[in-house]
Structure 1
């Protein structure tokens, strides 16, 4: 069954090109590549609403997609501005279209804010590398997004902001010490949104590229003693990407199959397709 997806890039043109220089793709291009690997016959299109000249679909056009995916971003919602406003407007149109949507990190924040929630700079500070001890709520343990996750798990993460208050129609599915809302489902004006504060779409290589790119900032914030330490950390991530069987490195960084096994790391996305996209497509008579 062919599925048509829209991947919404959260970054500005400058930030997209910076990520491309360090990793080889933009966030949205990497997300689209993952979706086509996970879903046979999937067709992905990319939208860049942070760009002033972006041509964006309205709710009618969005109804032509089977699923919408929102990437991370270096933007901050509370800074406002046209690049932020256009993304909120697009997400409101996604809700109105009835097309199921999934968001990672910034994507969760946009999904929440567009429905009436609030986003703030995390008073507990940045979460980087891996979100630790993510614990599903009672609702999360029964929700298909997290059905096979253990009682506590790790996931790739890079964020400074968090959802502070959730909109009406939200079910919080998981949280941890640094981010009480690590996963949520939002139902708003007939639309369905699943979001996570972490990055199930990130490979360890992509995470390594981000750590290297912001190594000086992370050193200033106390995550590493020096930039060389950040680069060594990134090198370990690349080694684990190439050889997940390196138990010494997995032990050193406190990660297991929930991160090292690509199928488990990306499971929330695959479950979204199976439990939200496919049923919605069938209900619309497109099966």
Structure 2
């Protein structure tokens, strides 16, 4: 019996990946791949870079060989267009023909939406960053496997300036909050089922700390912090939570709940995708 095969689609261009690393983080695809290997230790996880010039990308025949495809976040804006974005849309549309399950975080949700015929815009409320607050599971989400074991109202790691404006026909809204109506959705596109979330269940606290360092000082200018000292203190708290996620004082100070603090709960959507889409589809194909 062959090992499960998963593909991570990196949404960023090379310069953006390098910039995140310079601020103490890692390429989004590397962190995603490590989490997938942790959840499914027997899996072989590949990474592709469709935004890179000359990238050797799998076609639909190659994509069909994977048991699941996960899409990272990105600093790109999908409405700006360009070759680095169109290649990702084309890759995803090819994936939809294969029946391979898809999961997208943040940019991944926006890419799925666009490839399936929906629309994405710059959020008129501005950026949502740090912890997405009071994300609420909808009636459809309450009975959906994506949210098995998840509280009906929760916080989540998040950083996005854009949002889904219009879901494509047939998509189901699974979660929402006051900042962005579409926080999660399920898509039936072509032969495939895709799940997407606007937040980042794959991020640890240390990655959020690196993102805040990278975005400084723009977050002060946008009004998230009074000054850079206050921002630095928040980054320090994120790094402390990485080392000590049970720190009661920090949990209270930032108003986060178990859905952020507990890695098992924080990553539940991805774990459920593997349990309820990837492995059943793999078995249906006679691979496991």
- Which TM-score tier does this pair reach, normalised by the shorter chain? over 0.9
Once the two structures are superposed, what CA deviation does each residue of 1:67-89 show, in whole Å capped at 9, x if it has no partner? 00000000000000101100100
In the alignment, what sits opposite 2:123? 122
Once the two structures are TM-superposed, the CA of residue 24 in structure 1 deviates from its matched residue by 4.6
The 5-angstrom pairing of residues 1-287 of structure 1 reads: 2-287=3-288
Structure 1 gap ranges (5+): none
Cα RMSD after superposing both structures: 0.9
TM-score by length of structure 1 reads 0.98
Once the two structures are TM-superposed, the CA of residue 212 in structure 1 deviates from its matched residue by 1.2
Once the two structures are superposed, what CA deviation does each residue of 1:217-245 show, in whole Å capped at 9, x if it has no partner? 11110001112211110110110111112
Once the two structures are superposed, what CA deviation does each residue of 1:204-263 show, in whole Å capped at 9, x if it has no partner? 110011011102111110001112211110110110111112111111101021101111
Deviation >4 Å, runs of 4+ = none
- 175-184 vs 143-152, which deviates more? 143-152
Q: Secondary structure at the match of 2:273?
A: helix
Measure the CA separation in 2 of the matches of 1:106 and 1:228: 30
Count of equivalent residues: 287
Measure the CA separation in 2 of the matches of 1:149 and 1:85: 34
Q: Secondary structure at the match of 2:53?
A: coil
Q: Is the 8 A contact 2:25 2:211 kept in 1?
A: no
Measure the CA separation in 1 of the matches of 2:124 and 2:91: 28
| Larger RCO (alpha carbons 8 Å, 6+ apart) | 2
Structure 2 gap ranges (5+): none
